[in-house]
Amino acid sequence: MAPTILIVGATGNTGRSVTETLAKLLPTSPNLSDHRILALTRSLASPAAQKLANLPGVEILEKPWVDITADWLREQQVTRAFIASHNEPTQFAEESTFYLASLKAGVKYVVRISTTAANVHPDCDAYYPRSHWAIEALLSSPEFSNLQWTSLQPNIFTPLYLYPAVEFIKNYRQTGKQDTLRLIASEDAPVGIIHPDDVGVFAAHLLSQDNPSTHNKAKYVLNGPVDITGRDIVNMVEKYIGTGVKDVTYKDTSFIDSYIPPDSPFKSLILSAKNAPKTAWEGKCTVSTTSKEVLEIAAPTITPGDVLKGLLE
């Protein structure tokens, strides 16, 4: 069996782009051209999985990543890995178990997806950034010194940020009527929202480095190519519908209510995620915070206008 680069969540937000980009980069790599790409998915039957299976050097496997053990990683000869974990309340327990298995199996390098850099602190009011902080603290401990890692801290993803605008435009086109346009954005604060494909491309470039030690223990901040405000989103919507938007609600996080399963024991934790956009509203999540390494290696290129157009086609 060939040495392997493992992609956890290959058909997810960022994993698909990681897999596609790696498939292009590895054949020209002096030291990694013999590596296979093992892409994990929850369903082999999904269109995304079937598409990835046709890429050169890529093998698709249906396996829950939370069940990965050190023995399995050794059997698959995994030397490098990418992981974009869920952000549910069990994140720390499950993601840290993956790193412990990686450490014991002798995996050399891991690239992980964190969350908005301005939130990754032990005193963040939203629960899941604290989990990311704790994971980074664990990986920084002396006990994990043999596992090299890089944590990517991307801004909020563009499709999520623009989803209310997309639905508003679609509804207006179908009915000619306007509901309230409810935006996560504040009216005036600029935010460097980023498309997950741009995050995946950068992650793939890190994984394909001949010597990733330069990026060991690095925490890279990723933003899109341009800032956008809530008012900018409204202006784009008005161009698509050909008239003014009558009613806008900014700083709207009511959509998080729909993420809470009935009788969930984690209701309070999940509701705390409504605090996550506060740093963006305070102007702390602009393009200016992007790490220079991101711009040098694989600068993001997908703009909010590109995404809005694509989601409406």
CATH number at residue 137: 3.40.50.720
Claim to verify: residue 214 and residue 116 sit in the same structural domain: yes
Token pair belonging to 111: 């690239």
Claim to verify: residue 87 and residue 234 sit in the same structural domain: no
Claim to verify: residue 145 and residue 166 sit in the same structural domain: no
Q: Would 104 be classed as within a structural domain?
A: yes
Give pLDDT, residue 182.
98
Q: Would 43 be classed as within a structural domain?
A: yes
Q: Would 171 be classed as within a structural domain?
A: yes
The answer to whether 246 touches 206, Cβ cutoff 8 Å, is no
Q: Would 293 be classed as within a structural domain?
A: no
Print the SS3 string covering 137-159: HHHCCHHHCCCEEEEEEECCEHH
Q: Would 182 be classed as within a structural domain?
A: yes
Claim to verify: residue 48 and residue 143 sit in the same structural domain: yes
Claim to verify: residue 90 and residue 213 sit in the same structural domain: yes
Cα dihedral 231, 14, 257, 308 in deg (nearest 10)? 30
Give pLDDT, residue 191.
98
Over its C-alpha atoms, the chain yields an Rg (Å, rounded) of 20
Give pLDDT, residue 246.
97
Q: What CATH number does the domain containing 306 carry?
A: 3.90.25.10
Give pLDDT, residue 48.
92
Query: What global pTM score does this model have?
Result: 0.96
Closest CA to 60 of 35, 85, 79, 43: 43
C-alpha span between 282 and 287 (Å, rounded):
14
Give pLDDT, residue 259.
85
Claim to verify: residue 165 and residue 217 sit in the same structural domain: no
Claim to verify: residue 64 and residue 138 sit in the same structural domain: yes
Give pLDDT, residue 186.
98
CA separation, residue 291 to residues 152, 201, 263 (Å): 10, 15, 41
Q: Which domain, by its residues, includes 268?
A: 158-192+224-288+298-312
Claim to verify: residue 262 and residue 307 sit in the same structural domain: yes
- Tens-of-pLDDT digits for all 313 residues of the chain? 799 999 999 999 999 999 999 999 999 998 898 999 999 999 999 999 999 999 999 999 999 999 999 999 999 999 999 999 999 999 999 999 999 999 999 999 999 999 999 999 999 999 999 999 999 999 999 999 999 999 999 999 999 999 999 999 999 999 999 999 999 999 999 999 999 999 999 999 999 999 999 999 999 999 999 999 999 999 999 999 999 999 999 999 999 998 888 889 999 999 999 999 999 999 999 999 999 999 999 999 999 999 999 999 8
CA separation, residue 294 to residues 133, 152, 154, 224, 226 (Å): 20, 10, 11, 11, 14
Claim to verify: residue 61 and residue 119 sit in the same structural domain: yes
Claim to verify: residue 51 and residue 128 sit in the same structural domain: yes
Q: Would 50 be classed as within a structural domain?
A: yes
User: 9: which DSSP letter?
Assistant: T
> How many domains does the chain divide into?
2
